[in-house]
Structure 1
Amino acid sequence: MIGSASTARPSTLYVATLLFLVLLFLVGLMAGSQWVSPLQLLSAIDGTSDLLTRITVLELRLPRNLLGILGGAALGVAGAVMQGVTRNPLASPGLTGVIASAALAVVSLRTLSSPGAMWLPLMALGGGLLGGALTFAIAGRRRLQPERVVLAGIAVTSLATALTTGLLLVSGAEAAELYYWLAGSLMGRGWLQLQMVLPWLLLPLGALLVMQRPFRVLQLDDDLALAMGLAVGRWRLTFLLL
């Protein structure tokens, strides 16, 4: 009885969280400078509403809400992976220096030139990979011990954040827009940005689902994982790159 009760609690929590997410999603579609009632929302979805309501719901609010959900899900999964790999319940995705380095790359590109929107995700990816590579180089190659990865990541994050702040101070008119971007603003985002981001989110998530077993083994002690035949250093690097 105790076991079944303890199993039921997480399931109930998951269902409640999912229902709350759906509720927030619907509120996000209705709330704004122009309030949309539930009936107007339904009519916008089935195409019987007026043009203004349809554009407001389907072209402005819907892609932004989907982007927010996907971004939050990606950060949640990244945090779970980081906590599992480092065996630290307080670990976050920013500990490897990837996020700060990606931000530095985008801010550098926007400050020094005027790139198209298509270049920003690629620049962020390149900056994140360079930041992660620097973190791993500082941490050393032998098994990539979690403690060394965290300490090296903090150093890289601090350096990248300082450089980003310096660039923002000299970026002039671009500073306001860059601050919005760094804060995670969804202003001006639509279906195009959603299509650009979707593959970069789905591919790592699919890979993580396939690699569940080594991820679970990796959360054990290194010596025990090695005894079970797991290449600890290689798998830890793989999950950190994802």
Structure 2
Amino acid sequence: MSIPVIILHHPQLGENIGSTARVMLNFGLTELRLVAPRDGWPNAAAEPLSAGAFEAGVSVEVFDTAEAAIADLGTVLAATARPRGMEKLVVDAAGGVERIMQRGHKAGILFGAESHGLPSDVVGLADAIMTYPVNPDFASLNLAQAVGVFSAGWGAAQGAIGRWEGEKTGVEAPAPREDLIRMFEHLEEELERAGYFYPPDKTPLMKTNIRNGFIRGDWTMQEVRTFRGAIKALALGRGQARVKRDD
């Protein structure tokens, strides 16, 4: 299965083309096609916003018409937020990714110009309409943002993971229950000395509530040691204060 291409129909700003290339490469998409870009191509304004994406692998090809840009594609989606009154399948980003993967043909996604989106005759060339669940009262996405939504869905479907996902972060395994129980007993002993458990008949329930709260924290061994040190410090502070008062 080939990686889908992103097609920008009559893009206006070079900055948006650069931003599009940047977000594409973030999620493993590398083929960008431009249909009659308003300011021509190459465009110096695209480079700063691309963050080096063109040098790092995003290729750009320019076409005069949408028909020429999609000529070699077996599956074409048209990204639009407006109803078109056409008898076409309508999918979201995940549905678009799924359709591309199921059909297995070389695929492309058409995105319209910043000011007016895709014209209906271009939408008519697509197999399906792709739209996003945006706020109906403000369905205005920046061009690169719109491309980014699809690109992120594509990356996830290919098994891409977050930068830190799946890596060891240094967090310990949960503390053995034996050590948690010792911590509970240590805390409860000090609370008993402080007269916290009152009335006596409520003591078992109070201890259970305290233990339940701590257990939900999924404590590590280091956290248990640290907290037991805090208990000792508090207990020592109380004893020192008594000595000073006795003096």
Tell me whether the two structures share a fold, i.e. TM-score over 0.5: no
Larger Rg: 2
Greater share of strand? 2
Give the TM-score taking structure 1 as reference length: 0.22
Which has the larger helix fraction?
1
